[in-house]
Structure 1
């Protein structure tokens, strides 16, 4: 017996291709909100288990990427073995860009001094 549905494919070039639950308006609302923000921010997405939060985030990331935005996806549930969630997140931010782009050393840009 299967208790989990398979993840919905979210193609980067067409994030809403398999959007049977009509999440596109929600994703576009959040994307447009993000486009208006200036500076760093934190976004919390709160909903009961199984309601599609991960799918919404994957669609949002693909939609933002198509417009030139960079994002970090960190799955805290997969790193649930540490009491302080900041430790694996900082470690992930430090390692991940080097895996994707060896010349890049951090998730965040260097600030110019001046």
Structure 2
């Protein structure tokens, strides 16, 4: 199996998931795609909160979920409050992490996107695939 470090598409982010959270991630992905498509039509945003006591696997789940989404061609920005939040205003940490992530998408010479953004049509198609 490929290692995480080499960025190979063959890397399985769920290879050490002994609690079978991949099934939860698949459900969450379909739910989020459906909700995103629904909200896009109404021009509304959506917020999802994942809450559990310390040590219950939130970081494990979310980092692997983000990697799985990226392997499927989506953009996922992971903000780790323990590592990234050093300011009094949490918005600062969110903006810094997002800007770092988005810099990978921008050609600084032309200020154009290197990686095309997903369209609403793609989101709708993915959301209802297999239903």
Normalised TM-score (structure 1): 0.68
Cα RMSD between the aligned structures? 2.6
Task: Extract unaligned runs of 5+ from structure 1.
Answer: 1-8, 110-114
**Correspondence for 1:14:** 12
**Correspondence for 2:24:** 26
Q: Aligned match of 1:67 in 60, 65, 72? A: 72
User: Residues 15 and 59 of structure 1 are in contact (CA less than 8 Å); yes or no, is this contact kept in structure 2?
Assistant: yes
Q: With CA pairs under 8 Å and 6+ residues apart, which has the higher RCO, 1 or 2?
A: 2
Distance 2:85 2:14 in 1: 30
Task: Extract unaligned runs of 5+ from structure 2.
Answer: 118-131
**Correspondence for 1:112:** none
User: Residues 74 and 89 of structure 1 are in contact (CA less than 8 Å); yes or no, is this contact kept in structure 2?
Assistant: yes
